[in-house]
Structure 1
Amino acid sequence: MPLLPGAEPYHHRGGPVGVLLCHGFTGSPQSLRPWAEYLAEAGLTVALPLLPGHGTRWQDLQVTRWQDWYAEVARELLLLADECEQVFVFGLSMGGSLALRLAAEHPELVSGVVLVNPSVRADNPATALLPVIRHLLPSLPGITGDIARPGAAELGYDRIPLHAAWSLAQLWRTVQQALPQVGQPVLLLRSPGDHVVSPANSALVRARISSVDVTERLCERSYHVATLDHDAELIFEESLGFVRRLTGVTQGTEATDQRG
């Protein structure tokens, strides 16, 4: 199945510090592409993979599970760790869950975590019905496009495949159990106006992780997809400052290679 234009993965070979970016459920790398390019321009090595089942049609996501999405980002983490001295993991929404699981399972590889409106729990009581509903309905209306900035758009599915949504709920449970194993520095960026993920998600992360170096910033002018919204520049600058503080690198090297 051909990729939707703009959903392509992005890779950039830069300096010895690497960043892995994880996009959200039913979304695509397009939601994080400006962030990835900003980090690349700063001299970092960047990986922004396309998660299995995403970037084509929602029916393709229906046959995937959270283990497939996680396997892809875990593979990218290992590749970055082979070529970089330090690696940071960034995530938006469900990508935040994937980032947190990577940090918990690979503390020796992940130097820090940046989360934007992370999704780690069920906000809708109907989630409890997914084990049954998913066999009766194939999909429900989508959740992409929660952006305050006029003219900005997120590339994603207009339907939520319910088999995949059921698997997402399983991912949340595994991540919640692993949160105490996350001890790396964390930068948490949260939108009070988020219409997709409740503040309880970020509160749960802060309450359960073991990290002592935790910084929280509010994206006051943005909705859920804050990386494409009014506070995108804030996110980009804060995340780069976070990486530079922890690595001592104030200026990156120029990129030597780029691959799609």
Structure 2
Amino acid sequence: MIKPSEFHLRGGRSGVLLIHGLTGTPTEMRFVGNGLHRAGFSVLGMQLAGHCGDDADLLATGWRDWYASVVEAAQRLREEVDHLFVAGLSMGAILALELAIDRPHDVDGLGLYGTTFFHDGWATPPIGRLAFLLPLLTSLGLGRRKVSAEVEPYGIKDERIRNRVVGAMLSGDSQAAGLAGFPWPSLAEFQRLSRRVRRRLGRVRAPCFVAHSSNDDVASLRNVRAIQRGIGAPVETLLLDDSYHMVTVDRERGKLVEHSATFFRRIAEQRQPMPASIPRLATVAE
């Protein structure tokens, strides 16, 4: 069943599952979804477990819950298409990689937008750069009530778009713009997921389209190099020079849609449809 914040646009027999980032919302993937739908794809903009509510809703979940919701959404879309592509923003890109590792026969290709293994962009506050320590700190019971606030420029270079998104976020409209901060326990879960995927990048077999800002305020190009060096599958890279981290909503979102559609269409034309094998109930190995 589709959730209130999700969008499902039925189109052709190639489908794209879109995954938003931590504390985000399907709205941040809506422009890309509309563009891919116009290009002939079926699109599902999913909602991660615990998101589009308040801090308590998010804190009641962890990365395994987020991933389980990805598997469930992939199953829904996979049942109606011949080719399944999965694209995510920031943490959503890492969840897309996890699905490709876990279900290699079901994912035909990946779109990795602003992938964030390392919080090391030029506007990242000190606690963000020390995020790798959060799993240890929270396991010791430290920082469980702390929240790292979003900071300027909020991942968006275009001031008009930024003002609209930030206004909705600060007004408390979490369904439209997500939360205004990152609870430390959730960031710790993000780090656990990131480490898990980084260790297993060599198992990715799906071709990858990597789109990243060359001036990303949240995640530097070190993240792109990690993908290029770690993945054995073909990697196509697009560096965007007039955007910040939120490439799906910023100035070059049209270019992102165009390149994504071309990449996915090329793969679909080259591959025979595969029978779906994603189980209805996801199980995540420890």
CA distance in 2, matches of 1:118, 1:33: 18
State the one-letter code of the partner of 2:182.
I
| Structure 1 residues 135-214: aligned runs within 5 Å | 135-136=142-143, 137-142=145-150, 145-153=154-162, 154=165, 155-211=177-233, 213-214=234-235
CA distance in 2, matches of 1:236, 1:214: 17
Provide the residue aligned with 2:169 in structure 1. Answer: none
CA distance in 1, matches of 2:100, 2:60: 26
CA distance in 2, matches of 1:84, 1:49: 16
State the one-letter code of the partner of 2:241.
E
Cα RMSD (Å):
1.9
Q: In the TM superposition, what is the alpha-carbon distance from 1:122 to its structure 2 partner?
A: 5.0
Q: In the TM superposition, what is the alpha-carbon distance from 1:125 to its structure 2 partner?
A: 4.2
- Give yes or no for contact 1:146–1:225 (8 Å, CA) kept in 2: yes
Q: In the TM superposition, what is the alpha-carbon distance from 1:11 to its structure 2 partner?
A: 0.8
Provide the residue aligned with 2:174 in structure 1. Answer: none
User: Secondary structure of 2:248's match?
Assistant: helix
Percent identity among equivalent residues? 32
Which whole-Å deviations, capped at 9, do the CAs of 1:89-143 have from their partners, x for residues lacking one? 1011001100111111111110001111101235444224323256334312126
User: Secondary structure of 2:22's match?
Assistant: coil
Deviates more, 1:84-93 or 1:153-162: 153-162
- Give yes or no for contact 1:122–1:169 (8 Å, CA) kept in 2: no
Tell me which of 68, 72, 75 is aligned to 1:75.
Answer: 72
Residue 245 (1) aligns with residue 266 (2): yes
Which whole-Å deviations, capped at 9, do the CAs of 1:229-256 have from their partners, x for residues lacking one? 111011000000011111129xxxxxxx
Q: In the TM superposition, what is the alpha-carbon distance from 1:59 to its structure 2 partner?
A: 2.8
CA distance in 2, matches of 1:128, 1:115: 21
Q: Please, which runs of 5 or more residues in structure 1 have no aligned partner?
A: 250-260
User: Secondary structure of 2:154's match?
Assistant: coil
CA distance in 1, matches of 2:9, 2:117: 29
Provide the residue aligned with 1:23 in structure 2. Answer: 20
- Give yes or no for contact 1:96–1:120 (8 Å, CA) kept in 2: no
State the one-letter code of the partner of 2:73.
E
State the one-letter code of the partner of 2:190.
L
Q: In the TM superposition, what is the alpha-carbon distance from 1:36 to its structure 2 partner?
A: 0.6
Report how many aligned residue pairs link the two structures: 243
Q: Please, which runs of 5 or more residues in structure 2 have no aligned partner?
A: 121-127, 166-176, 271-286
TM-score normalised by length of structure 1: 0.88
User: Secondary structure of 1:228's match?
Assistant: coil
